[in-house]
Amino acid sequence: MNTRILVVIALVIGAAIGLAYAWLIEPVTFSETSPAQVMKSYREAWLIMSAEALAQDGDWERTQARVTALHDPNLAQTLTELFDRYQAKGPNPTARSLARLADRLNVHTPAMQVYLAEIVTSTPEAVPTTVVIPQPIATSTPTSTPEPLPTVIPTATPIPDYQVINRTAECTHGKQPPQIRVIVQDQFGQSVPGKVVWITWDGGTDRFVTGLKPEIDPGYGDFDMQPDQTYNVGVDKPTSVIVSDLRADSCETDGRTSWRLILAPRTP
């Protein structure tokens, strides 16, 4: 028999045996891949998409199932590192979504408090200082309707929860901008990280969180001032003004005044 024919017959028999083994004896089985089995970059993308979905629809049960599918024993560390990487780029919606997810998982850092703090879209409303109570008066004409006479009764201005322990003016030189430098302490004099400090001025509001510069002080935070503005400082809420009328006035040789404040809870 021709050698070529024998080779073809052998190949056909071999292919038939291989197909029979693959299909009948030990067929290949397919299974779904868990998010926990993919590469780290894909697991991080899964976590980000879960956080953004939670921010979009608020479905915590579905988000919890998605996060649990990662089977990450160090989920708090993974989420914190991922948040830090995104928030280092500046304020962005991904960092905000990750902060909200971390809050639901009871994971907190001082930087996350910035994104969890309430966003103020308008200037604080003025606190009313007077109450007008109408009082009727008698008139000479019996048939006329009595005119109300307003009586002004002053009300007390709310006392802020914090007070100034120390206030120091410092002269800033060179390229460094003048700043409001705040250290928040507790009633025992210990520095407190994670406190929201509000800065308000005519037509504007901003905030920062203490603890982001622990190399200076665990309760420290700062804000860059503009020379043509007058600033007020509050803790926890913008309407609680503790220090007012801070300005970056000129000082010494071409310098600008910075302010260092130590704030603590008001004693009863």
Residues 186 and 258 in one domain: yes
The strand ranges marked E within the chain are 130-136, 148-154, 162-172, 179-184, 196-201, 204-209, 220-224, 231-235, 241-246, 250-251, 255-265
Residues 185 and 261 in one domain: yes
Task: Evaluate whether residue 7 is within a structural domain.
Answer: no
∠246-249-255 over CA atoms, to 5°?
A: 130
Among 116, 141, 171, the domain-final residue is: 116
Report residue 39 CA to chain centroid gap.
29
Task: Evaluate whether residue 126 is within a structural domain.
Answer: no
Task: Evaluate whether residue 48 is within a structural domain.
Answer: yes
Residues 87 and 167 in one domain: no
Provide the token pair at 103.
């809050």
Task: Evaluate whether residue 15 is within a structural domain.
Answer: no
Name the one residue in this structure whose structure tokens are 């005044």.
Answer: 257
- Check: CB of residue 219 under 8 Å from CB of residue 132: no
Predicted structure pTM score: 0.48
DSSP assignment of 109-157 equals -HHHHHHHSPPP-SPPPPPP-EEEEEEE---S-TTSPPPEEEEEEE-PP
Question: Domain limits at 89?
Answer: 36-116
Residues 168 and 102 in one domain: no
Task: Evaluate whether residue 22 is within a structural domain.
Answer: no
Residues 105 and 166 in one domain: no
Residues 90 and 184 in one domain: no
Instruction: Note the pLDDT of residue 29.
Output: 57
d(CA 87, CA 82): 9
Among 57, 85, 116, the domain-final residue is: 116
Residues 57 and 111 in one domain: yes
What's the total number of domains in the chain?
A: 2
Among 116, 133, 149, the domain-final residue is: 116
Residues 166 and 99 in one domain: no
Instruction: Note the pLDDT of residue 5.
Output: 76
Residues 102 and 197 in one domain: no
Name the one residue in this structure whose structure tokens are 């009863």.
Answer: 268
Task: Evaluate whether residue 248 is within a structural domain.
Answer: yes
Task: Evaluate whether residue 24 is within a structural domain.
Answer: no
Instruction: Note the pLDDT of residue 117.
Output: 67
Provide the token pair at 35.
């998010």
Instruction: Note the pLDDT of residue 26.
Output: 64
CATH of the domain at 247: 2.60.40.10
One pLDDT digit (tens) per residue for the chain, 268 residues: 567 777 777 777 877 777 766 666 666 555 555 666 667 888 888 888 998 888 888 898 899 888 888 888 888 899 899 988 888 877 788 888 898 898 888 888 888 877 776 433 334 444 444 444 555 555 555 555 555 655 545 555 456 689 999 999 999 988 889 999 999 999 899 999 988 899 999 988 898 888 888 899 999 999 999 988 999 999 988 888 899 999 999 988 789 999 999 999 987 6
- 213 class by beta-carbon count within 10 Å (0-12 exposed, 13-18 middle, 19+ buried): middle
Residues 166 and 225 in one domain: yes
Task: Evaluate whether residue 5 is within a structural domain.
Answer: no
